Structure 1
Amino acid sequence: MAGGRAPRVLILLCILHLHCLQGAKILTVCLAGGSHYLFMDDASRIFIDNGHDVRMFRQIGNGTTPGYEMTSTPYPVTTYTLDDKYLKEFDKMFEQSQKEYFTGNSGFTSYFTLMDFLAEQCQATMNRTDIFDFLNQEKFYIVILEAFNPCAFFVAEKLGLPYVALFTGGFINFMSVGLPSPPSYVPMFPSGLTNRMNFLERVKNTFMYLGTYVMDKIVESIFSRVSEAHFPVDSRPSLLELHRKAELWFYNVDFSMEFARPLLPHVHCIGGLRAKPAKPVSQDLEDFIAESGDSGFVVVTLGSMISSIPITDILREMNSAFASVPQKVIWRYKASQWPEDLKLAPNVKLMDWVNQNDLLGHPKMRLLVTHGGLNSLMEAIYHGVPVLGIPLFGDQPDNLVKIKAKLMGEYILPYEITSDKFAGAIHRVIENKSYKTAAMKQSVIMRSRPFPPDQQLLGWVEHIIRSGGGGHLRPYSYQQPWYQQLLLDVILFIFSCVALIIYIIVKVIRFLIHLLCNRKKQKQN
C-alpha cells in the first residue's frame, strides 16, 4: 500500500510543480532607457510567449529613447515619473557629457557623475511606498532586472524576492560578479587591448585590473547611502553583496565577437537576443534603397539615446564624406535638430528612428556606421554586415577593438573625423571584400549555436524556478575572504614552512661545521 502511495504523491507533486512553472509570476525591472529598455522589453516578451505572467516596473524620464514610438505591450507595466527638477539637471548633465564624448574629453569622472545621478534617482524610487506596496501584493515569484542601473538590485532586495540579472553590456563588472579574469589574456575595461598581449601590454592590463577594484569600490560607496537610508542597520546590503546574490547573470555578449574567457556556472551569454530574421522594410525606404542600384546603402546610427551630433564641425565632415560615396545613406538623425545652414547630402535620408535589424538584413545592405553598442554589433554580426565604428563612451571603444580583431570592421575616433578620412574608411570597408567575408564567418558562428539566446534565457530561469534557487551554481568563493581567494594564507604558510626548513638546515650545517672544527682543533692539540 505504502509502495503504491509514494509514486502517486510524487506524480501529484510533479503536476502541481509543472502548473506553478507554467504560470510563474515574474517581475521585470528596468530603470534605464534606450537600448536597456529595448533589451528588457524583448526579454519580457519571451516569458509572456511561453506562458508566464509578467509585469514590468520601469522608470520614465531620464535615458528615454528619442524617436522611438512606444507601442502597447502584451504585459502590464507599472511606471513612475521622475520630478521635473531632477530631469532638467539630468538632461543638462547628459548634454554636456555628449559634447565630451565627441571631443574625446570624457573619462571616469563622467561615469561617476552618472552614478551620482542614478543614486539620487534611486532614493526617489525607494521612497515610493505606494508602488512597493502594490508590487508586494502581486506575490511575484522572481525578479528579472536590468543590471546597468544598480538601483534595480535594491528594488529586488526591498521586495525580498530572488532575482536574475541581465546586463546589456560586456563583462566590465567581472570583479563584483566574481568572474575569473586572468590579466594575462583577458583584456580589462577600458584597456583597448586584445587577448594577445605583449609584455608591456600585460603590465598595462595588470594595472587596469587593479583599477577595476578601485572603480567598483567608488560606485559601491556612492550607493551605500541608498542602503543606509532604506534598510535596517543590521541588514544593510552592499552593492557587491547584491551582485553576488543574483541567482543567474546574463550578458549581452557572444563569443562570435567576445574573446574566449572563463565563466561560472551561473553566468551565461545571450548576445544577439534582439537579432532576428529581417522583415520587409516600408515601401518608401524600399524605393529609396532601389535608387542605389548595385552600390547598395549604408545605415548610420549612433545609439538609441543619441539623436543628433552636438559638434557642428564633426557633423559637417560626416555629411561631406557621405556626399562623396556612391551608396545611399539612411541616417538616424532627428531632422528638427539638423543645422539650417548645412545642406544635407543628396544621397542621405534622415529618419527619427530606424528599424535597424530589418535594414541590416536587407540584401543591398553594405555597411553599418555605429557607435559600437552591443545591441547594434550583435545585429551586425547576426546579419553578416561589416562595421565602421565611431566609439563614444563606456564599453564602445573596447567593443570596436574586438570587431577590428575579428577583421570585420574598423573604427575612427569622433574627434579625428575629417571628410577625406571618413570617406576613405567607408570605401575601404565596403570595397575590400575581406571585411564582408569575416562578417559572414562570425555570422555563421553566432547562428550555429546549439541553443539560441532566447532559449537559454527561458531555460535557465525556468531551471531556477523549478529547482528553488541557484545556490548550486554559485561558487563557494563568494563566501571566502579575499585573502583566501588569492591563496595568500596558503602562500604565507608555505613560505613560513620553507623559511623554517631553511633556518633549521642552516642551523644544523653551522652546528656540524662547528663540531668538525672543534674535533680538528682537538686532534691538532
Structure 2
Amino acid sequence: MTEVLHGREAFDNFVKLMEQLGIQCSDLLRSDIMDSLKNENFDLVFVEAFDFCSFLVAEKLGKPFVSILPTPFGSVDLGQPNPVSYVPVFNSLLTDHMDFWGRVKNFLMLFDFSMKQWRIQSTFDSTIKEHFPEGSRPVLSHLLKKAELWFVNSDFALEFARPLLPNTVYVGGLMSRPVKPVPQEFENFIAKFGDSGFVLVALGSMVSICQSQEVLREMNSAFAHLSQGVIWKCNPSRWPKDVKLAANVKIVDWLPQNDLLAHPRIRLFVTHGGLNSIMEAIQHGVPMVGIPVLGDQPDNLVRVEAKKFGVSIQLKHIKAETLALKMKQVIEDKRYKSAAVAASIIRRSHPLTPAQRLVGWIDHILQTEGAAHLKPHGLQQPWHEQYLLDVFLFLLLVTLGTLWLCGKLLGMVTRWLCGARKLKKA
C-alpha cells in the first residue's frame, strides 16, 4: 500500500502477494484443519474467489462448491461470453461505448489480461504439485469454471450490460444493512451547517493508515473551500501537527458509513472506489467523487463516471484547487444527483434482495443436485473448438482446395483448347 501511495504500483508486487497466499495454502492443506473438515458432512462448499486456496480446499474435500466474486465482474476469467467489441477488459479503463481505437486497445489488452491471469494462477503450481497426486492435479483455470454458481458482487445499476451464463448471479449490495439513527455527535456536527448539508469522506481502512501527510494537507485545504460540513474518516493520530484542521471538518477514526450515506442532508461521498462503498452510495442515491488507489478501484470509478453519478481524480493529481473544483461540480450540478437517484431506483427495484437471490439459487442447486443444467457445454470445450478455429481451418482448406482444383481444371481446359486450335491450323 505504501508503494502504491507513492506512485509505484506494480503488478509484480501483486504477484508476490499471491505467492505468499500460495505458501499459506500449503500450510493449510497439510494442517489438522483439513482433517477436521473431511470429517464433516458438507453438502456444499462456499468459496471466495480472491484467494484461490479456497478452490483447492473444495477440490481436496471432493465437494461441489459455489463461489462469490468480491471484485468487479471481469477481474477473473469465469468462462463468460466476452465480446471485446463492447465488454471492456479488466483494467482497460474503457466503457462499453468504444470507438475504433478503443476496440483496438481492448483487443490487445485481452492478451495482456490472459498473461497476467496465467502468472497469478501459476503462483499456486507448487502447492498443487505438493498436495495432489500426479495424474489428478487440478488446473486452477478449470476449477474456476467448475463452480456450480458464481455470485458477483455487482449490480446492473453500476455494471455495463453484458451476456451472462445462467449460473452467474449479481448480488451487489449483499452487505447492505438496515439504516440506524446517526450517533448524536455526528448529528450535532451536521446541524451546524443547516441546509448546506455535509460531505462524507472515507477512503478505506488501508488508505487511512498509509495516507501521506502531503495528501492530507491538500485534502484539508480543499475541504476548507466548501460551504458544507465534512465528516472525514482519518486517523487523528496521523494528522500532521503543523496543519490546522479546517473549521468545517471533523476527523474520526471510525464512522457509521451506511447510516451517514442514508442521512437526508448528505450532499456528496468522497470515496476510494471500493465496490462495497460504491454499492452503499448507489443504495442511497448519493453522488460521488472518487480517488482510486489500486486494484479494482479505477475500473469501478470508470463505471461511476460512465453512469454519470460521479467523477474521479487521480491520487497523484490531488491538489486543493482541483479537488475543491471537482467536489463543487458534483454538488452544484443536479444532474449527478439525478443520475445517482436513478441508479438507486434500479438497485432497489429488484423483485428479490441480494440475500434472497443468493439463498434462493443455493437452495435450487441443492434440490437439483448441482447446476449442470445451468452450464453450457462450451465450458468443457477446448479453446480452438470454442472459437471455431477448427471449423475456420477446415473451411479455409476446402476453399483453397477448391480454388486449386478449379485452377487445375481451368489450366487443363485452356491447354486442350490451345491444342485443338493448333490441330485445326495444321
Whether contact under 8 Å (2:76, 2:117) holds in the other structure is: no
Whether contact under 8 Å (1:295, 1:327) holds in the other structure is: yes
Q: What is the 5 A alignment of 1:479-518?
A: 479-518=380-419
Q: Deviations over 1:313-343 (max 9, x none)?
A: 1111001111221111111122222222322
Q: Which moved more, 1:394-403 or 1:235-244?
A: 235-244
Q: Deviations over 1:145-188 (max 9, x none)?
A: 1111111111222222211100111123453x101111111111
Partner of residue 119 from structure 1, selected from 7, 22, 39:
22
Find the counterpart in structure 2 of residue 433 from structure 1. Answer: 334
Q: What SS does the aligned partner of 1:354 have?
A: coil
Deviation at 1:309, TM superposition (A): 4.1
Deviation at 1:115, TM superposition (A): 1.1
Q: What is the 5 A alignment of 1:259-278?
A: 259-278=160-179
Q: Deviations over 1:76-121 (max 9, x none)?
A: xxxxxxxxxxxxxxxxxxxxxx233223321312221221221122
Partner of residue 221 from structure 1, selected from 122, 140, 146:
122
Distance in structure 1 (CA, Å) of the matches to 2:23 and 2:198: 44
Q: Does 1:152 align with 2:54?
A: yes
Distance in structure 2 (CA, Å) of the matches to 1:230 and 1:312: 46
Q: What is the 5 A alignment of 1:444-455?
A: 444-455=345-356
Distance in structure 2 (CA, Å) of the matches to 1:105 and 1:305: 16
Whether contact under 8 Å (2:217, 2:243) holds in the other structure is: yes
Letter in 2 for 1:410: V
Unaligned ranges ≥5, structure 1 = 1-97
Q: Does 1:356 align with 2:245?
A: no
Q: What SS does the aligned partner of 1:144 have?
A: strand
Letter in 1 for 2:291: I
Distance in structure 2 (CA, Å) of the matches to 1:386 and 1:522: 91
Letter in 2 for 1:153: F
Whether contact under 8 Å (2:284, 2:341) holds in the other structure is: yes
Q: What SS does the aligned partner of 1:234 have?
A: coil
For the structure 1 residues 345 and 127, does the alpha-carbon distance in structure 2 shift closer, same or farther, using more than 3 Å as the test? farther
Find the counterpart in structure 2 of residue 132 from structure 1. Answer: 34
TM-score normalised to structure 2 length: 0.97
Q: Which moved more, 1:482-491 or 1:104-113?
A: 104-113
Deviation at 1:296, TM superposition (A): 0.8
Find the counterpart in structure 2 of residue 256 from structure 1. Answer: 157
For the structure 1 residues 173 and 475, does the alpha-carbon distance in structure 2 shift closer, same or farther, using more than 3 Å as the test? farther
Partner of residue 69 from structure 2, selected from 167, 173, 189:
167
Q: What SS does the aligned partner of 1:166 have?
A: strand
Q: Deviations over 1:218-241 (max 9, x none)?
A: 112111111111122222112112
Q: What SS does the aligned partner of 1:472 have?
A: helix
Partner of residue 133 from structure 2, selected from 229, 232, 251:
232
Whether contact under 8 Å (2:213, 2:239) holds in the other structure is: no
For the structure 1 residues 324 and 181, does the alpha-carbon distance in structure 2 shift closer, same or farther, using more than 3 Å as the test? same
Whether contact under 8 Å (2:28, 2:34) holds in the other structure is: no
RMSD of aligned Cα (Å): 1.4
Distance in structure 2 (CA, Å) of the matches to 1:211 and 1:231: 30
Q: What SS does the aligned partner of 2:45 have?
A: strand
Q: Does 1:206 align with 2:104?
A: no
Distance in structure 1 (CA, Å) of the matches to 2:272 and 2:211: 15
Distance in structure 1 (CA, Å) of the matches to 2:319 and 2:54: 41
Unaligned ranges ≥5, structure 2 = none
Distance in structure 2 (CA, Å) of the matches to 1:147 and 1:353: 28
Find the counterpart in structure 2 of residue 326 from structure 1. Answer: 227
TM-score normalised to structure 1 length: 0.79
Q: What SS does the aligned partner of 2:240 have?
A: coil
Q: What SS does the aligned partner of 1:350 have?
A: strand
Letter in 1 for 2:146: K
Whether contact under 8 Å (1:143, 1:162) holds in the other structure is: yes
Find the counterpart in structure 1 of residue 375 from structure 2. Answer: 474
Q: Which moved more, 1:112-121 or 1:215-224?
A: 112-121
Q: Deviations over 1:408-456 (max 9, x none)?
A: 1100000101011111111111011110011011111111122221111
Distance in structure 1 (CA, Å) of the matches to 2:256 and 2:45: 29
Q: Which moved more, 1:338-347 or 1:373-382?
A: 338-347
Q: What SS does the aligned partner of 2:56 have?
A: helix
Q: What SS does the aligned partner of 1:247 have?
A: coil
Q: What SS does the aligned partner of 2:201 have?
A: strand
For the structure 1 residues 387 and 303, does the alpha-carbon distance in structure 2 shift closer, same or farther, using more than 3 Å as the test? same
Number of residue-to-residue matches in the alignment: 426
Whether contact under 8 Å (1:278, 1:362) holds in the other structure is: no
Q: Deviations over 1:285-324 (max 9, x none)?
A: 1111111211111111112433334321111100111122
Distance in structure 2 (CA, Å) of the matches to 1:431 and 1:218: 46
Whether contact under 8 Å (2:229, 2:248) holds in the other structure is: yes
Q: Deviations over 1:456-479 (max 9, x none)?
A: 101111111111111221221222
Deviation at 1:254, TM superposition (A): 0.7
Q: Does 1:460 align with 2:361?
A: yes
Q: What SS does the aligned partner of 1:105 have?
A: coil
Distance in structure 1 (CA, Å) of the matches to 2:41 and 2:344: 42
Q: What SS does the aligned partner of 2:199 have?
A: strand
